[in-house]
Amino acid sequence: MKLLSLKTSNLFLIAAVSGVCMGCVSSSSGLPFPAFGFGHSRSMAVPDVIPLGAISRAHWHTMETNGEASDFVIYRNEFVDNSTEFAPYGRDHIMEIAARMPSTPFPVIVQRSDNNSDPELDAARRDLVVRVLTDMGCQNAQQRTVVSQPYNDGINSLEAEQDYGRFRLSRNRGGLGGSGGGF
């Protein structure tokens, strides 16, 4: 009996050592161990290094999507004064919206008047936008066009002047001539 238990314990020891040395990955031959000896199994461990850009990719995608949605905003300055007539940029912009509208899910937003002071003008502008988009082949323009505030408020003239100054400084380091602005 003692001889049998010694053989059994040796078998368990051999199985444990071979399992540790070879890993638990089966080979392509279907055997529970590699056919050509040690070193042919790959590690099944989870890598502890996250691929470059994996964390920030969702953030950049969200920013890009929000930027595309803001392309579908028709601002007050795209109309002539307080009328329902498109200014030249407004005509170009509505054609761009009509071309992209079938392939995007974003609503078309017509910017409302300041403090919602003229809701009749806002409704007339919305009707004009719906009519133009429908004439250009956008069948669901009635459901996708709304009067609302845009996603962002924009900037005023003082903020724009400061941003422009910072942009100029970042391009040529204050006019020192090639000290960091590129070629």
**Structural Rg of the chain based on CA atoms:** 33
Identify the residue with better confidence: 146 or 172.
146
Mean per-residue pLDDT of the chain = 80
CA nearest to 70, candidates 22, 111, 39: 111
pLDDT, average across residues 141-149: 95
Query: How many domains in the chain?
Result: 1
Look at residue 37 in the predicted model and tell me its pLDDT. Answer: 52
Domain with 134, as residue range(s), is 64-148
Task: Decide if 58 is inside a domain.
Answer: no
Task: Decide if 105 is inside a domain.
Answer: yes
Look at residue 1 in the predicted model and tell me its pLDDT. Answer: 47
pLDDT digits (tens, 9 = 90+) for 59-116: 999 999 999 999 999 999 999 989 999 999 999 999 999 999 999 999 999 999 988 8
pLDDT, average across residues 20-30: 51
- Nearest-angstrom CA–CA distance, 61 and 42: 34
Task: Decide if 69 is inside a domain.
Answer: yes
Task: Decide if 121 is inside a domain.
Answer: yes
